[in-house]
């Protein structure tokens, strides 16, 4: 397994739509494993392939992680992958405070469907169905499926909030780039 760099918005690659995977082969399973490792390393509960620069319909999730006193997440028992997910049913509304690994340290309330049914292919290549209602799981599925369509949670916010967050992300990206250059110079 290998860690993959998580893109930070407003990277234009995050706005590209992902493509259908179809057959789950060794390369897709490798991507699944890399994404899980990258998600856990970043203390996330979900990650979509476009966030690591791969434009395929692949999502990894684990909403059953536990958090210790220091705020560090630890692997849970709920790790699974959604490949080529399709929302088959959605109704009612549910508002949840969302964050995103591609928009670090930013959190805002987003209203989504409360009750969903999603059909997807698992890492093993078998088609499955998942149902969730008014939970982190229902929010996470929709949040990550948005990434597959080139949409981020900030696209659900007002233009003003989105612009303020974009400025902070540009500043963060510049700081990270300066740090990388400083580390390279020190070597």
Which residues are identified as catalytic? Answer: 144
State how far the Cα of 78 lies from the Cα of 95, in Å rounded to an integer. Answer: 23
Cβ contacts of 94 within 8 Å, gap of 6 or more = 111, 112, 113, 114, 134, 138, 139
Q: How far apart are the first and last CA of the chain?
A: 26
Question: What 3-state DSSP class applies to 36?
Answer: helix
Instruction: Tell how strand 66-67 and strand 73-74 pair up.
Output: antiparallel
């Amino acid at each position: 397994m290998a860690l993959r760099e998580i893109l930070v918005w407003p990277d234009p690659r995050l706005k590209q739509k992902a493509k259908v995977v179809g057959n789950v082969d060794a390369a897709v399973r490798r991507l699944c494993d890399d994404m899980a490792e990258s998600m856990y390393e970043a203390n996330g509960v979900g990650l979509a392939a476009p966030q690591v620069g791969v434009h395929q319909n692949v999502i990894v999730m684990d909403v059953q992680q536990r958090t210790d006193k220091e705020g560090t997440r630890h692997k849970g028992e709920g790790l699974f992958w959604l490949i080529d997910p399709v929302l088959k049913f959605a109704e009612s509304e549910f508002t949840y405070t969302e964050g995103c690994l591609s928009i670090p340290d930013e959190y805002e309330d987003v209203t989504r469907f409360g009750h969903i049914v999603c059909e997807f292919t698992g890492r093993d290549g078998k088609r499955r169905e998942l149902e969730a209602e008014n939970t982190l799981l229902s929010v996470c599925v929709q949040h990550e499926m948005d990434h597959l369509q080139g949409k981020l949670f900030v696209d659900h916010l007002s233009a003003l909030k989105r612009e303020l967050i974009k400025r902070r992300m540009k500043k963060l990206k510049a700081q990270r780039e300066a740090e990388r250059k400083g580390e390279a110079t020190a070597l």
